[in-house]
Amino acid sequence: MTNHATIAAQIQVAIATLAEKPADSILPETQLIGDGSVLDSMKLVELCLQLEDMASELGFDFDWTSETAMSRSRGMFRSVASLTEQFICQLEGRV
C-alpha cells in the first residue's frame, strides 16, 4: 500500500514540474491559489488532471470540484499540505 509520505512526495514533484521549479522549493505551505500561487489557472487544472490519474492508479476517483475546493480559508488548493491532506482523505474514503 502506498504510504502517505510517498503520495506527498509525488504531489510535490508534480507541482514542481508544472511550476518549473526545483522540488525542494515546493513546501507544505506553498500556495496553489491566489496572488502567491506557484501555478497559474491552466497549470492548476493540469495538476488536477494528474491527480485524477494518480487516484485512478490507486483505485479511487479524485474529486476536485467539492464545495470547499476553492475556498481561500478551507479549500484544498490553499496550500500543498491541504491538497495532499485532501487527496489522502479521499484515498482513505474519509470524505
Partner 1 sequence: MILVTGASRGLGRAICERLTERGTEVLGISRSTDPFPFRSLSCDVSSYEAVKDLVRVLRRERTVVDGLVNAAGAASMNLAVTTPSSVSQRLIQVNLLGTIYCCQLVAPMMARQKKGVIINFSTIAVSLGLKGESVYVASKAGVEGFSRSFAREMADFNVRVNCIAPGPIDTGLLKGITPTQIAQIVDRQIIAKKFTPDDVSDLVELLLDPRASALSGQLLQVGGA
Tell me which residues touch partner 1 (CB under 8 A): 41-42, 45-46, 48-49, 52, 61, 65
* Residues 83 and 74 sit within 8 Å (Cβ to Cβ): no
Shortest Cβ 64–partner 1 spacing (Å): 9
Shortest Cβ 3–partner 1 spacing (Å): 26
Q: Give the dihedral of Cα atoms 5, 11, 12, 16; nearest 10 deg.
A: 160
Three cell numbers at 83?
Answer: 491538497
Q: Which is nearer to partner 1, 37 or 81 (CB)?
A: 37
Grid look-up 514540474 returns 17
Shortest Cβ 49–partner 1 spacing (Å): 5
